[in-house]
Amino acid sequence: MKTVFAAQGNIISSLGFTAEENFSAMEQGSSGIKKHNNTKFLPFPFYASLVDSEKLNKNFSALSENENYTRLEKMFILSIADVLAKSALDVKSENTLLIISTAKGNINLLEEANYGGFPEKRLLLAEMANQITGFFGMKNTPLVVSNACISGVLGIITAQRLIGSGQYENVIVTGGDLVSEFTLSGFNSFKALSDEPCKPYDIKRKGITLGEGCGTVLLTSNDKLLNKSEKKIRVAGGSVSNDANHISGPSRTGEELALAVNTAITEACCGKQIDFISAHGTATDFNDEMEAKAFSVAGLEHIQLNSMKGFFGHTLGAAGVIESIVTVETMKRNVLLPSLGFENSGVSMPLNITRKSESKQINTALKTASGFGGCNAAVVFKSV
């Protein structure tokens, strides 16, 4: 199997339009979650992490004269363009594939009269994906991964397998989702939305805060594409599991997430030598409790862990990519980030949750995600 390196990354979120802007804001403990009063989305005020539309459109106009792209497509294109600008990758090569991770894609078009002026087929994820490869002139048909909230991590694991087996040299993994009336009303119908910024793992947690954004990372077996001055990080192992328990509630024991974690760790050959866990931490009662049990089952309860949802909310299919990029940055910079919103533990098993930004040598990190449909995913990043 070929070694799969994580090269350049980009994040577009409420905290900024580059990975650097996002990381700096997070280091300072800033959150992009704000109170919004938009009756188009919900009949009452709600907390969410939203991307600045004015800046999005301004940045897009600077990149392209053709502005006939949806809001989410603009995010994908800007995010990929930033990665390409920082990389020597030949995006038009037959050795390069685009993987798009998304839960709902252009679902906001359903909410607009006449689909916002776009053809109806733009609701189809493959059509949305074709718009993006078309913009960059990529040769290969893009691969769309749509697995609820593990879409992002699964995109990275899929890329690792496709590069590891030599089918492609480079895979650009991009994950994106929007906050919309569709998603807000849905999570609200489940009574899963928090009426204040989310507090993962905290005793006072009240549920999810939704976020929107896009993350893009270049994965490659070509180490010439890595930034020379930086620590080399590789995708060392990854796995997926299913709870086989309930379609909208997580496992009661956490054994299945632990199974994915243990399989990923075995593939990465790192034993329990993990320096940091970027967990899912949605701040719902059931999710956080399940994760606490899972990390206990896996024997990882002592390892420093955070949830990034307090910074930019739950970005659904984008979350796994965005949070993996932050995890890789954490490793390159040797800086641990706090788990924003956490004060006192509200889960039944012990977890070592980070409270403040601190310097720490981080050579191995685990990223996990879980989602509707009972799916769990885990990926291990290691420095070379």
Partner 1 sequence: MKTVISSYCVIRNHQIMVNGETVLTKEKDLPFSEFIKTAYDLNALPYLKFFKMDDLCKLAFVASEFLLKNNKLAEQYGAENVSLLFANTSSSLDTDINYYNTVKDFPSPALFVYTLPNIMLGEICIRNKIKGKTAFFIFEQFQAEFLCNYATQLIRHKKAKAVIIGWVELLNKNYDAFLCLIEETDNGIALTKQNLEKLYTT
Q: How many CB atoms lie within 10 A of CB 166?
A: 11
Count of residues binding partner 1 (CB under 8 A)?
50
147 contributes a contact to partner 1 by CB under 8 A: yes
Cα distance between residue 241 and residue 247, in whole Å: 14
Residues comprising the chain, all counted? 384
Judged by CB under 8 A, does residue 181 bind partner 1? yes
The verdict on 279 binding partner 1 (CB under 8 A) reads no
Provide the β-strand partners of residue 208.
193
Lookup: tokens for 311: 């910074």
Does position 111 interact with partner 1 (CB under 8 A)? The reply is: yes
Closest contact distance (angstroms) between CB of 244 and partner 1 is 4
Q: Does 124 bind partner 1 (CB under 8 A)?
A: yes
The 3-class SS string of 182-245 reads HHHHHHHHCCCECCCCCCCCECCCCCECEECEEEEEEEECCHHHCCCCCCCEEEEEEEEEECCC
Within positions 348 to 377, which residues make up the interface with partner 1, using CB under 8 A?
Answer: 371-375
- Report in angstroms how near the CB of residue 293 gets to partner 1 at its nearest: 16
- CA-nearest of 174, 151, 4, 145 to 82 is 174
Rounded least distance, CB 328 to partner 1, Å: 23
Measured from the CB atom, the residue of 189 and 229 that comes closer to partner 1 is 189
**Least Cβ distance, residue 337 to partner 1 (angstroms):** 29
- Chain centroid, CA 219 distance in Å: 15
Q: Is 38 in the site for partner 1 (CB under 8 A)?
A: no
Helices H, strands E: what count in the chain? 10, 16
* H or E, element range at 35: strand 33-36
Residue 175 within binding range of partner 1, rule CB under 8 A: no
Contacting residue, 138, 240, 337, 353, with partner 1 by CB under 8 A:
240
285 binds partner 1 (CB under 8 A): no
Site residues (CB under 8 A) for partner 1? 103-105, 107, 110-111, 123-127, 129, 141, 143-148, 154, 158, 161, 165, 167, 181-182, 185-190, 239-248, 256, 259, 263, 371-375
